[in-house]
Every structure is written in C-alpha cells, then in structure tokens.
Structure 1
Amino acid sequence: MKKFRCGDVVPGCTRAFHGTEADVLTQVAGHARADHGLPDVPAELVGRVLAAMVDA
C-alpha cells in the first residue's frame, strides 16, 4: 500500500490518497482534473507524484 499527499507536489493542497500505486495514480488524476483544472496529467507530474509516494 502507498500514500501520497498532494501538498508534497502542489503547495497548499491538503488532499491525501491511499491504496496501491495504480489506485493512487488514478485518484490523483481525478483530483488533478476536478480540483486543479488539469484535463491531462503531464508525464512530469506523474513522475513527481511517484517520487513523493511512500509506503502506507
């Protein structure tokens, strides 16, 4: 299991996600679209999210 805090990549965001790596990436993509206005998640951002994920 993994966890990720959006604020580790987007300062000021308080959302956090837990699950398998794939689950977290899916949740983060939805959050990026709905709350940060990103219709597509750039590969660079995916890399930053993966780098900031830690074991739950």
Structure 2
Amino acid sequence: MKYQLACGDVMPGCAQTFDENDKGVLLGAVAKHAAGAHGITEMTPEVLAAVESKIRVSQG
C-alpha cells in the first residue's frame, strides 16, 4: 500500500508532499516537517486527527 499526504491539505499554502509505503514512516516524516516548517512540535490528538483525515491510501 502507498500512503500519501499533501501538507497543503492540512496547512493551506504548503507545497510539501509525502509518499511512503508505511504509515508510521509517513507520520514520522510529517511530524519532522511540521516541526521544521510550521513550528508544530507536538502532535496532539487534534493535529494527528487532522493529518490522518487527509492521508490517501492506494494499492500502488
């Protein structure tokens, strides 16, 4: 499975995209990006829910 996320779906105006075979790896990359690019250093349940609601899953 492929897990994909466009950061702009959560943070309008951000062009960063993520494409991973493992959801945990994707979430780790998103957390690192969120801290460095957006100053979000804590993945609260609300932030995590917003991110997970925008993850697309494909068989690719």
**Would the TM-score normalized by the shorter structure come out above 0.5?**
yes
Gaps of 5+ in 2: none
TM superposition shift of 1:38: 1.4
- For the aligned residue pairs, the C-alpha RMSD in angstroms reads 1.0
CA distances 1:1-56 after superposition (whole Å, capped 9, x unpaired):
10000000100000000111111100000001101011212211111111100024
Instruction: Name the counterpart of 1:11.
Output: 12
Matches within 5 A, 1:1-56: 1-19=2-20, 20-56=22-58
More helix by share: 1
Structure 1 segments of 4 or more deviating over 4 A?
none
Between the two proteins, the alignment pairs up a number of residues equal to 56
Quick check: which has more Rg, 1 or 2? 2
Gaps of 5+ in 1: none
TM-score by length of 2: 0.85
